[in-house]
């Protein structure tokens, strides 16, 4: 099994991609701590996992809770961290508030940095790995989605910069750039009324049934958190049904 004897932290595990990743990693033998602000969702996820995880609620806007999550996950050693928690909010830019812009930056980017920072001493010991969640929104401008896109560009920068800083100490840091994934995030947060769909659909999936399922993304998390990707660091891995191909 891919993660036999390995310990890791997965955030955002109450739903969507984080849930699918927690289920996949437990099936591959991982001993996990799963974190999210949605405790009931974490409990549902735990019930679907082959190996019982440690469950810990945290709020990505409260950095002390981010650090506490890392410390409890590392109590017996830490081999990998998957930063998957995230927030989407669309809106035409003439009306999108600075407060919402800040909130998306805090949840999607600053908390990821804080978690990486807290995990690093443990990952240096284990020569471990971090897998962050960027997006195709990290690779292009997206109309009506400026704050989210800015926060995911920041995740890409955090990933590449930390990878260079910690490469010599044996820690690998990569990020995944999913395209459209069918999860509660995309189901519950449709684009605002009145958007220009010609602009929105410049980068539609090209494959037949091109939208990804959470399980498709979980496969890539497993590759990047395991030794199978031992020569990959500082890289962004796109999985998007051909959205970014043109
Ligand atoms: N669904 C997509 O199309 C898509 C595409 C590209 C990237 N992503 C990214 O993938 C990741 C997972 O998204 P998903 O589609 O599974 O969404 P989701 O909404 O199903 O899951 C996101 C999880 O993050 C948690 N979360 C949100 N704010 C939090 C906070 N303040 N503190 C702690 N936890 C918090 C939520 O409770 C939820 O469980 C996110 O980072 C998202 O930006 C999603």
Q: Would you state the structure tokens that stand for residue 191, as one six-digit string?
A: 């684009």
Burial of 218 (0-12, 13-18, 19+ CB in 10 A): buried
Spacing, Cα 238 to ligand 1 middle (Å): 17
* Domain 7-245 listed as CATH 3.90.950.10: no
Instruction: Say what the pLDDT of residue 171 is.
Output: 98
DSSP state of 191: P
244 in Cβ contact with 136 (< 8 Å): yes
- Give the distance (Å) from ligand 1 centre to CA of residue 84: 6
pLDDT at 138: 98
- pTM of the predicted model as reported, rounded to 2 decimal places: 0.98
Q: What is the pLDDT of residue 125?
A: 98
Q: How far out from the chain centre does Cα 222 lie?
A: 12
Task: Looking at the chain, list the stretches that DSSP marks H as alpha helix, in order from N- to C-terminal side.
Answer: 16-27, 39-47, 63-73, 98-105, 111-126, 146-166, 184-188, 197-200, 214-225
Which two three-digit tokens encode residue 28? 């591959």
- CA 85 – CA 112 distance, rounded (Å): 9
- Quote the pLDDT of residue 102: 98
Check pocket membership of 119 for ligand 1, CB cut-off 6 A: no
How much is the pLDDT for 195? 85
pLDDT at 200: 82
Residues in the chain: 246
Taking residue 102's Cβ as centre, other Cβ atoms within 10 Å add up to 13
| Per-residue pLDDT, 216 | 98
Per-residue model confidence (pLDDT) at position 87: 98
- Gyration radius (Cα) of the chain, Å: 17
Which of 56, 46, 41 lies closest to 26 in space, CA to CA?
46
pLDDT for 99 equals 98
178 CB within 6 A, ligand 1: yes
Instruction: Among 34, 183, 237, say which to mutate for ligand 1: greatest number of ligand atoms within 8 Å of CB.
Output: 183
Q: What was the pLDDT predicted at 9?
A: 99
Token representation of residue 131: 């897998």
- What's the pLDDT score for residue 191? 85
148 annotated active-site: yes
In sequence order, what are the residues at sequence separation of 6 or more whose Cβ sits closer than 8 angstroms to the Cβ of residue 221?
Answer: 21, 24, 25, 82, 84, 131, 176
**Which segments of the chain have a pLDDT < 70?**
none
Return the structure tokens found at 61: 């806007």
Domain residue spans in the chain? Answer: 7-245
Predicted confidence at residue 199, as pLDDT, reads: 87
Cα 146 to Cα 91, 102, 199, 239: the distances in Å are 8, 12, 14, 21
Q: Is 115 helix (H, G, I), strand (E, B) or coil?
A: helix
Atom of ligand 1 nearest to the CA of 211: 3
- Mind listing the pLDDT tens digit for each residue in 189-242? 888 888 888 888 788 899 999 999 999 999 999 999 999 999 999 999 999 999
């Amino acid at each position: 099994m891919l993660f036999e004897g390995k310990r890791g932290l997965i955030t955002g595990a109450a739903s969507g991609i984080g849930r699918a990743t927690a289920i996949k990693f437990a099936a591959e033998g991982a001993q996990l701590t799963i974190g999210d602000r949605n405790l009931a969702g974490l409990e549902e996820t735990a019930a679907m996992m082959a190996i019982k995880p440690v469950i810990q609620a945290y709020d990505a806007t409260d950095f002390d809770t981010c650090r506490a999550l890392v410390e409890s996950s590392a109590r017996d050693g830490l081999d990998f961290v998957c930063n998957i928690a995230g927030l989407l909010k669309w809106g035409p830019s003439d009306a999108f508030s600075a407060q919402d812009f800040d909130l998306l930056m805090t949840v999607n980017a600053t908390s990821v940095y804080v978690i990486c920072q807290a995990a690093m001493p443990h990952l240096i010991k284990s020569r471990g790995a971090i897998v962050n969640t960027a997006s195709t929104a990290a690779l292009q401008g997206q109309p009506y989605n400026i704050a989210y896109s800015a926060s995911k560009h920041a995740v890409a920068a955090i990933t590449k910069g930390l990878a260079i800083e910690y490469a010599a100490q044996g820690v690998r840091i990569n990020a995944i750039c999913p395209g459209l994934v069918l999860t509660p995030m995309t189901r519950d947060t449709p684009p605002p009324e009145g958007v220009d769909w010609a602009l929105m659909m410049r980068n539609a999936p090209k494959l037949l049934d091109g939208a990804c399922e959470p399980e498709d993304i979980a496969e890539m998390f497993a590759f990047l958190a395991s030794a199978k990707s031992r020569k990959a660091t500082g890289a962004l891995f796109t999985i998007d049904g051909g959205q970014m191909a043109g």
